Amino acid sequence: MNAPAWQAETLRLELEDVPVWNALMSHADQPVTLSEKNVTFSFRPTHSAPRDGWVRQIGFGGKSRLYLQVEQFPFATICGVELDVGDLAEMPPDLCEALQQGMAWTLVGALPGFLAEKASLDGSIFADRLSTDAGAAAAHWFSCSLSGFGDMPILFSIGASPDDICSLLRNAPPSARQVHSQLRSRIRTPVLRLAGEARLAARDIRALEAGDVVLFRELARAESRALLANGHVYTFDRSQQDWQCLSITPFSGDETMETDAAAVCEAPETGVDRTPENGPEDATDVEQAGELKAAPPVLMAPVSFALGSALLALNEIETWQVGATVPLPAEISADSTRVTLRVHDQVIAEGDLVRIADRLAARLTRVFLNDS
């Protein structure tokens, strides 16, 4: 979208007001939802002031002034009567003034609270006298629309000097939505690219050495990416230059660990010695001893096998919705065969990705566990 153009000789701003004005202009022709009032506001700059009709003056704490002319108003929805703005000219002066004030207060009521609470109606002047009013002569004008009061939007023009506009907006308190968005853009969280996962006995993890080969369950195909962030696994497939999110599934190592530990105790995996030391050889020996000794539980831990990691802003991760196509940083999307083994976010080993028959495995080159 092209930014609205203003003639340089007609726009003079204090240096501190330049970013305020530019921020305002960046929203031109873009509907802005005023969440507190549940209405939608849009505006565009126009170089022409109203030429006929009454123009209402609205003050803000005696320091700033805004000029308002309503062109279309949903009287039927708000007042319950069938009227057009043009009909006001044929009405008695008192009734016309009351309706004009009603329209103005309706628009003031839609403003954010920090502006609405300062507003006051300061009378009106006829449009052909705007050129003789000092405040109106310096005003820039905007054609505006306010939706949310029924099927018909309110159409109106407002004028104000750039100094007054910037003065009103310069100290505007940020909305809760803006604060929330800013925080989530600054808070970064780790993201892991997962090759797979495994559940290993704690004693087997403690015994790992360089040169060991550890098999694991593959989580994503070679052309896909499985990313772990904020307790969820996001699966992506390549989509031209970017990546398309295919699925989002919860990832909870603790719950899985408890389930797998119980399953292992009932049916130990082949090749892992879990026979309790000095225990009976079979049930007959137990019966002969006159007591039943249960095998001690095997402590299991979930191990993640990661091919890369990155720190990403929370609001960036929030764009990862099923069906969405997003860019991914190279740290978690580029091809890699270097794998790290992690237990509860701690790196315990690293190695090379290898394939044994139809399964993936990590051949360890370094182990970081200590003896403490």
Per-residue pLDDT of 96-135, as tens digits, reads 888 888 888 888 888 877 778 888 888 777 777 777 777 7
**Residue range(s) in the chain whose domain bears CATH number 3.40.1550.10:** 11-173
pLDDT band at 24 (very low <50, low <70, confident <90, very high): confident
For the chain, the distance separating the N- and C-terminal CA atoms, rounded to the nearest angstrom, is 62
Placement of tokens 């990705």 in the chain = 353
48 versus 11: the higher-pLDDT residue is 48
Cβ neighbourhood burial of 320 (10 Å; 0-12, 13-18, 19+): buried
| pLDDT, position 97 | 86
SS3 content of the chain, % helix, strand, coil (to 5): 30, 35, 35
305 versus 22: the higher-pLDDT residue is 305
139 versus 327: the higher-pLDDT residue is 327
313 versus 24: the higher-pLDDT residue is 313
What element of type H or E holds 93? helix 93-109
Rounded to the nearest 5 degrees, what angle is found at the Cα of 233, between the Cα atoms of 227 and 238? 50
Structure token digits, residue 73: 């108003």
Over the chain, what is the mean pLDDT? 78
| pLDDT, position 240 | 83
| pLDDT, position 57 | 85
**Identity of the highest mean pLDDT range in 49-53, 58-62, 80-84, 100-104:** 100-104
The predicted model gives 356-360 an average pLDDT of 87
CB 54 within 8 A of CB 100: yes
Separation between Cα atoms, residue 209 and residue 368, nearest integer Å: 9
232 versus 14: the higher-pLDDT residue is 232
Separation between Cα atoms, residue 68 and residue 64, nearest integer Å: 13
Residue type, 64: S
Helix (H, G, I), strand (E, B) or coil at 284: helix
- Res 5 pLDDT > 90: no
32 versus 204: the higher-pLDDT residue is 204
Q: Does domain 11-173 have CATH number 3.40.1550.10?
A: yes
In our burial notation (b when 16+ CB lie closer than 10 A, e otherwise), range 64-86 reads bbbbbbbeebebeeeeeeeeebe
| pLDDT, position 258 | 37
95 versus 272: the higher-pLDDT residue is 95
- Res 352 pLDDT > 90: yes
| pLDDT, position 251 | 80
* Model confidence, pTM: 0.47
